[in-house]
């Protein structure tokens, strides 16, 4: 669980957050963690869930174009 | 070694040789139809020939459904099938599975079929290499014309999904379209988590860039999954075969790629519940284990203490016993010693050796000078006493 540092949560993508959440849930369910570790994992998991929810809440269509300008009807 | 075959053996051998040659399977042959026989059984027999050669062909009833024209002598056709050897007549023939009229377009078709065959042989269409579309892509790439309806359809369906949408503009028809599409796909590598490649409906000619080798290879090289969305439902291109998933239309592609936000929200609630459940289960388990451990520990400690005490008792007992032994030994030793001493000092033992003790009425007489003549003496022997009178005193004998 070395990757479970709180600082990383802010730039984690939705998919990345979900992947980590999946890992955390599995680790918790396997029950091999120490008490300290599982509390930490739980905290981390809760903050990831919060992060995912805020990503979903804040979602609005973000369109970019690699070359040229976005057609007028699509630009906002 | 000259082996003599009978004809059946020989024909079997030839047949085996011909039918195991992969180059003689699934091939296209071009020629003119002659000797067409539509047999009562529904099978069709004909000869395919060109200026110099001819070969027999048979199209069994089961395959005739795929024919979209009547077989007539003199028609130029392309036939698809396997080379066979008909043993009873010793005849090489093509087992035809499909046939097309060979017009100008036939060449293009044939080319396309050949390309398809080549790419398939290389493994570009293999089902095993198809990757799943990520459930929650952070970035969705779209390769299409920025002016086309396809792009608008895709964006409308994607709506306000929690993902970046990056358009990589491409020219989707005309001479340079294959190159344009291929480089637009390459430009998204490293950025997109999934790519939609497509265009709206059009003529076969309009869709042909998606049948090009360039586009096929660009899709094949993509490091992220590609969803193809070319034309309408019925249009199938090589791009569709190579893509990780084929969508019948651009809108359908967007549908496939768009994260299911509602399910995701439910999933998050579920995850939270699972975490809480397993954490509390973990705590319960731990508590139970502590209790068990506590019990085990106290039992063990008790046993430990008892056995330690038991050993202590044993040790102390041993020590006591040996101390006692030593003490008794010591005592008896001393006793003997004292006894010995006592014995040797005792006047009694002297008496036993034959001496006697002389007493006057003043006490023990140690010297002759202490006793006067005529005096009474009491002589004590070991076995008794004598009362004597001193008759005479003599001078010292020594």
For residue A69, the distance in angstroms to the closest alpha carbon of chain B comes to: 9
Contacts of B283 in chain A (CB under 8 A): 35
If DSSP codes are grouped into helix, strand and coil, which group holds residue A13? Answer: coil
Judge whether B273 is closer than 8 Å to chain A, CB to CB.
no
Q: Is the pLDDT of residue B224 over 50?
A: yes
pLDDT of residue A7: 42
For residue B280, the distance in angstroms to the closest alpha carbon of chain A comes to: 10
Q: Is the pLDDT of residue B137 over 60?
A: yes
What average pLDDT does the structure give for chain B? 85
Report residue B176's pLDDT band, with 50, 70 and 90 as the boundaries: very high
- For the segment B323-352, the average pLDDT, to the nearest whole number, is 64
Tens of pLDDT along B61-78?
A: 988 877 888 898 888 898
For residue A7, the distance in angstroms to the closest alpha carbon of chain B comes to: 20
**Contact yes or no for B275 and A28 at CB 8 A:** yes
If DSSP codes are grouped into helix, strand and coil, which group holds residue B374? Answer: coil
Tens of pLDDT along B287-303?
A: 777 777 767 666 666 66
Tens of pLDDT along B260-280?
A: 888 888 888 888 888 888 878
Q: Which of B146, B216, B232 is nearest to B178 (CA)?
A: B216
pLDDT of residue B110: 72
- For the segment A4-22, the average pLDDT, to the nearest whole number, is 68
Measured CA to CA, the distance from residue B278 to residue A26 in angstroms comes to: 9
Report residue B226's pLDDT band, with 50, 70 and 90 as the boundaries: very high
pLDDT of residue B227: 96
**Contact yes or no for B155 and A55 at CB 8 A:** no
Contacts of A67 in chain B (CB under 8 A): 168-169, 187
**Contact yes or no for B155 and A39 at CB 8 A:** no
Fold type of domain B138-259: Rossmann fold (3.40.50)
Report residue B114's pLDDT band, with 50, 70 and 90 as the boundaries: confident
pLDDT of residue B37: 92
pTM: 0.53
pLDDT of residue A5: 44
For residue A56, the distance in angstroms to the closest alpha carbon of chain B comes to: 6
Size (chain A), residues: 76
User: In this predicted model, which residue has the larger pLDDT, B336 or B276?
Assistant: B276
Tens of pLDDT along B364-379?
A: 888 888 888 888 888 8
- For the segment B167-175, the average pLDDT, to the nearest whole number, is 92
Which CATH entry fits the domain spanning B7-102: 2.40.50.140, 2.40.50.100, 3.40.50.10090, 3.90.870.30?
2.40.50.140
Least confident of A43-57, B297-311, B330-344: B330-344
pLDDT of residue B93: 95
Element (H, E) at A3: none
Mutation choice for A interface testing from B279, B283, B284, B290 by most A CBs within 10 A: B279
> Position of tokens 């398809």?
B116
Q: Break chain B into its structural domains and give their ranges.
A: 7-102, 138-259, 261-343, 350-389
Highest mean pLDDT among A20-24, B138-142, B356-360 belongs to B138-142
- Which of B155, B169, B193 minimises the CB distance to A63? B155
pLDDT of residue B47: 94
Q: What is the DSSP letter of A47?
A: H
B309 CB burial (10 A radius; 0-12, 13-18, 19+): exposed
For residue A62, the distance in angstroms to the closest alpha carbon of chain B comes to: 5
Query: In A, residues 21-60, which contact B (CB 8 Å cutoff)?
Result: 21-22, 24-25, 28-29, 31, 33, 35, 38-39, 41-42, 45-46, 49, 52-53, 55-56, 58-60
Report residue A8's pLDDT band, with 50, 70 and 90 as the boundaries: very low
Question: Are the C-beta atoms of residues B134 and B225 closer than 8 Å to each other?
Answer: yes
Measured CA to CA, the distance from residue B243 to residue B115 in angstroms comes to: 16
φ, ψ (nearest 5 deg) of residue B123? 95, 10
Structure tokens at B316: 């102390």
> Position of tokens 């035809």?
B96
* DSSP E strand boundaries for B172-309: 194-199, 226-230, 245-246
Q: How many beta-carbon contacts under 8 Å exist across A and B?
A: 115
Q: Is the pLDDT of residue A3 over 70?
A: no
- As beta bridge partners, residue B229 has B198
Contacts of A56 in chain B (CB under 8 A): 162, 261, 264-265
Q: Is the pLDDT of residue B353 over 50?
A: yes
Q: What is the ipTM of this complex?
A: 0.75
């Amino acid at each position: 669980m070395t990757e479970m540092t709180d600082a990383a949560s802010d730039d984690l993508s939705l998919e990345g957050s979900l992947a980590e959440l999946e890992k955390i849930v599995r680790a918790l369910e396997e029950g091999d963690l120490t008490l300290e570790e599982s509390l930490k994992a739980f905290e981390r998991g809760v903050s990831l869930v919060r992060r995912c929810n805020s990503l979903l809440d804040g979602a609005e269509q973000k369109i970019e174009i690699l070359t040229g300008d976005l057609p007028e009807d699509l630009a906002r | 070694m000259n082996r003599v075959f009978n004809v059946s053996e020989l024909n079997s051998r030839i047949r085996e040789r011909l039918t195991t040659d992969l180059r003689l399977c699934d091939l296209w042959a071009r020629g003119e139809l002659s000797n067409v026989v539509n047999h009562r059984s529904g099978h069709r027999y004909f000869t395919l020939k060109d200026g110099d050669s001819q070969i027999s062909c048979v199209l069994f009833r089961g395959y005739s459904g795929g024919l979209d024209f009547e077989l007539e002598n003199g028609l130029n056709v392309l036939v698809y099938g396997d080379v066979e050897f008909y043993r009873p007549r010793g005849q090489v023939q093509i087992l035809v599975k499909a046939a097309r009229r060979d017009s100008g377009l036939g060449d293009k078709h044939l080319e396309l079929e050949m390309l398809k065959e080549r790419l398939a042989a290389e493994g570009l269409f293999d089902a095993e290499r198809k990757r799943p579309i990520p459930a929650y892509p952070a970035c969705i790439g779209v390769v299409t014309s920025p002016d086309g309806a396809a792009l608008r359809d895709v964006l409308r369906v994607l709506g306000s999904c929690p993902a970046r949408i990056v358009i990589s503009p491409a020219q989707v028809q005309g001479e340079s379209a294959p190159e344009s599409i291929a480089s637009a796909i390459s430009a998204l590598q490293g950025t997109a988590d999934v790519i939609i490649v497509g265009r709206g409906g059009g003529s076969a000619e309009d869709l042909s860039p998606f049948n090009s080798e360039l586009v096929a290879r660009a899709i094949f090289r993509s490091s992220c999954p590609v969803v193809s969305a070319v034309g309408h439902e019925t249009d199938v291109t090589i791009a569709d075969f190579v893509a990780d998933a084929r969508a019948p239309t651009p809108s359908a592609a967007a549908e496939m790629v768009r994260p299911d936000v509602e399910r995701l929200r439910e999933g998050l609630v579920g995850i939270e519940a699972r975490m809480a459940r397993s954490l509390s289960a973990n705590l319960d388990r731990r508590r139970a284990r502590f209790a068990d451990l506590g019990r085990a520990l106290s039992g063990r400690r008790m046993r430990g203490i008892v056995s330690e005490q038991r050993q202590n008792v044993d040790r102390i007992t041993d020590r006591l016993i040996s101390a006692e032994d030593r003490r008794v030994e010591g005592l008896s030793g001393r006793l003997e010693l004292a006894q010995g001493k006592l014995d040797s000092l005792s006047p009694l033992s002297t008496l036993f050796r034959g001496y006697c003790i002389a007493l006057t009425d003043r006490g023990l007489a140690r010297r002759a000078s202490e006793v006067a003549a005529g005096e009474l003496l009491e002589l004590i022997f070991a076995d008794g006493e004598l009362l004597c009178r001193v008759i005479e005193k003599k001078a010292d004998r020594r």
